[in-house]
Amino acid sequence: MRAEEGGQVQSSVRCVLFCVVALLSMLGEGMAVFALTLESADQLGSWGVTALFLAGLVPPILAAPAIGRWVDGAALFRVWILNLCVHVAIFAVMAIASNIFASLALMPVASICAVVNGAVIFKIIPRIRGGFSIARASSFLVVATSLAGIIAPAIASLVFAKAGIGAVLWYAAAGFLALALAAIFLSRSQAANGKGADAGNEPDPGGPVSPGGAALTRNPQLRILLLPVAAIVLFTAAEGVSGVFYLRGITDNDTGYAVLLGAWSVGAVFGSLLGGNRRFGTRSALPILLGGGLVGAAILTEGLWSNAAGLALVFLAGGLGNGLHNAGVRTAIYEYVPETRHGAAWAQLRMLINIMVALGYLIGTPGLLVGPARAIIVISGAATLLVIVVSAALYSWKAQAKVHGRTSATESRG
Query: In this predicted model, what pLDDT tens digit does every residue of 310-333 receive, in sequence order?
Result: 999 999 999 999 999 999 999 999
90-99, 132-141, 364-373, range with the lowest pLDDT: 364-373
* Distance separating alpha carbons of residues 327 and 331, to the nearest angstrom: 6
Beta carbons within 8 Å of 367's beta carbon, 6+ residues apart: none
Beta strand residue intervals within 184-231, DSSP E = none
pLDDT at position 195: 56
Which tens digit of pLDDT belongs to each residue from 103-139? 999 999 999 999 999 999 999 898 888 888 888 899 9
Do the Cβ atoms of 281 and 315 come closer than 8 Å?
no
Q: Of 174, 156, 169, nearest to 107 (Cα)?
A: 169
Cβ contacts of residue 247 below 8 Å, gap of 6+? 257, 260, 302, 311
d(CA 11, CA 112) in angstroms, rounded, equals 30
What's the mean pLDDT in 132-152? 89
Q: In whole angstroms, give the CA distance from residue 151 to residue 162.
A: 17
Measure the CA–CA gap between 259 and 266, rounded to whole angstroms. Answer: 10
- At 7, the pLDDT band (50, 70, 90 cuts) reads low
Percent of the chain past pLDDT 70, that is, above it, reads: 88
Cα-based distances in Å from 157 to 150, 160, 244, 334: 12, 5, 18, 36
Compute how many other C-beta atoms are within 10 angstroms of the C-beta atom of residue 92: 17
- CA distances for 98 relative to 9, 27, 55, 110, angstroms: 45, 20, 18, 16
Distance CA 210, CA 222 (A): 18
